[in-house]
Amino acid sequence: MINVAHPVVGKRERQLIKEVLDSRILASGKYVTQFEQSFARYSGAKFGIASVNGTTSLHTALLMCGVKSGDKVVTTPFSFIATANSILFCNAKPIFADIDPKTFNINPVELEKILKKEKNVKAVLIVHLYGLSCDMDAILELKQKYKFKLIEDSCQAHGAEFKNKKVGSFGDASAFSFYATKNMMTGEGGIILTNDAKFDKYARQVINHGRDAHSTYTVLGYNYRLTNLAAAIGVAQLEQLENWISKRIANAQEYNEAFKDLDFLQIPCVPKNSRHVFHQYTIRVSPSQREEFIKYIADKGIGSGIYYNSVIYNQPFYKQLGYEVGLCKEAEKVAQEVVSLPIHQSLSKADIYKIIKVIKSYKNEYKNNRDRGRILRTASCKNFRTAL
């Protein structure tokens, strides 16, 4: 089976892990500091604060921005549930703005409708989904106009760029995940980035039980610290990230070329000014054929994933908080159509050709079932480049 994800652990990771084990400095240590500095530098931010995972990084980023009980935070409903959960951790209220189905990211027009209607929105938590930057020109313009704090959930977008600037460096704070299947990983892990020295100082307290530089406890804190072991893996992985991103982009290029004329699927659109790092290569197929398509390729040895088959507010826990079906129609529609194909850096040429061959062969299957539904080609790629 060609799996949708394949974490890479090389010689360098093993060498650094052995060094850390031999040193017996297993909790905080020199690799944590090295990793924080090198990842912040790579992403174009001044400060990096390593943390146990992407979720704790999001929680810390929201606390840094002063989000507290009763505050309103606008976000996308089409993301991993941790995005919205982190808002609930602060006892704040998630308000969902619909997405642009072309990019799968929050639609600035929908965001502005909410900002006009809702008074006193404290923060906006955007997500650069699948490795594609949100429309940062439009979002920064709204930030100027409506004066909210901006947090970037960059958990899937290490190295992604908007107009040659890396994501995670635009907002007041940002959060990344180094979960095992991400474009770079530390098993479990995360980091918060910021350009604000005061935020950096506060975040260091939040992740360390509230302790300040004088070993007194002046704020409520948690144990959200990354281990030296995990950070050592991160140091080794970061050295290879650009090479891995290039491979993902090259794989996406092969797929785009092969799939662009198939009428049963829609390839991802990439805005002209963005560098998509393809954490996921996500196509859209007709809702009535998605299950069959996934089974067809699985029977021929191709794995896939659905990220996500429901918008966050339609999950039972959120329904019980009072959110109703129909709130964000584009996101609900897209959740029925998306399929992510293997795109990772470990795919061989032979894997890529096999995947292309199998997917092209589905065409015959599709023809036989044409009456059962068509792909919703609402999202034209006009003004986007489908080739990279």
DSSP string, 192-239: EEES-HHHHHHHHHHTBTTB-TTS-B-S---B-PPPHHHHHHHHHHHH
Which is nearer to ligand PLP, 152 or 286 (by Cβ)? Answer: 152
Q: According to the binding rule CB under 6 A, does residue 39 interact with ligand PLP?
A: no
Closer by beta carbon to ligand PLP, 279 or else 362: 279
* DSSP output for 344-384: -TT--HHHHHHHHHHHHHHHHHHHHTGGG----TTS--TTE
Distance of CA 363 to the CA centre of its chain: 31
The CB-of-60 to ligand PLP minimum distance in angstroms stands at: 12
Kindly state the smallest distance separating residue 40's Cβ from ligand PLP, in Å: 18
Span of 27-35, 152-160, 225-233, 240-248 interacting with ligand PLP by CB under 6 A = 152-160
Q: Report if residue 83 touches ligand PLP, rule: CB under 6 A.
A: yes
Residue from 48, 54, 94, 159 in contact with ligand PLP (CB under 6 A): 54
Find the residue with minimal CB distance to ligand PLP: 54
DSSP state, residue 2: B
Looking at beta carbons only, is 73 or 297 nearer to ligand PLP? 73
Distance, CA of 103 to CA of 97 (rounded, Å) = 14
Q: Residue 288 or residue 315: which is nearer to ligand PLP going by CB?
A: 315
Tokens of 313: 């507010």
Q: Taking CB under 6 A as the rule, does residue 153 contact ligand PLP? A: yes
Q: Are the beta carbons of 32 and 228 closer than 8 angstroms? A: yes
The full DSSP string for 128-179 is -GGG----HHHHHHHHHHH--EEEEE-TT-TT-EETTEETTSSSSEEEEE--
Q: Please state, in angstroms and as integers, the Cα–Cα distance from residue 105 to each residue in 139, 251, 349, following that order.
A: 11, 22, 30
By CB under 6 A, residue 53 contacts ligand PLP: yes
As to burial, measured by CB atoms within 10 angstroms (0-12 exposed, 13-18 middle, 19+ buried), residue 216 is: exposed
- Binding to ligand PLP by residue 55, rule CB under 6 A? yes
Strand 281-285 relative to strand 338-341, pairing = antiparallel
Q: Which is nearer to ligand PLP, 92 or 127 (CB)?
A: 127
Query: Is residue 127 involved in binding ligand PLP (CB under 6 A)?
Result: yes
Q: Which of 80, 96, 148, 224 binds ligand PLP (CB under 6 A)?
A: 80
Residue 78 C-beta: closest distance to ligand PLP, Å: 10
Which residues between 164 and 183 bind ligand PLP (CB under 6 A)? 177, 179
156: contact with ligand PLP by CB under 6 A? yes
Identify which of residues 53 and 289 has a Cβ nearer to ligand PLP in the complex.
53
Q: What is the rounded distance in angstroms from the CA atom of residue 34 to the CA atom of residue 218?
A: 27
Shortest separation between residue 109's beta carbon and ligand PLP, angstroms: 22
Which H or E run includes 244?
A: helix 228-259
Report if residue 155 touches ligand PLP, rule: CB under 6 A. yes
Stretch of 62-70, 77-85, 138-146, 298-306 contacting ligand PLP, by CB under 6 A: 77-85
Size of the residue set binding ligand PLP (CB under 6 A): 14
Per CB under 6 A, contacts with ligand PLP among 342-371 are none
Residues that bind ligand PLP (CB under 6 A): 53-55, 79-80, 82-83, 127, 153, 155-156, 177, 179, 190
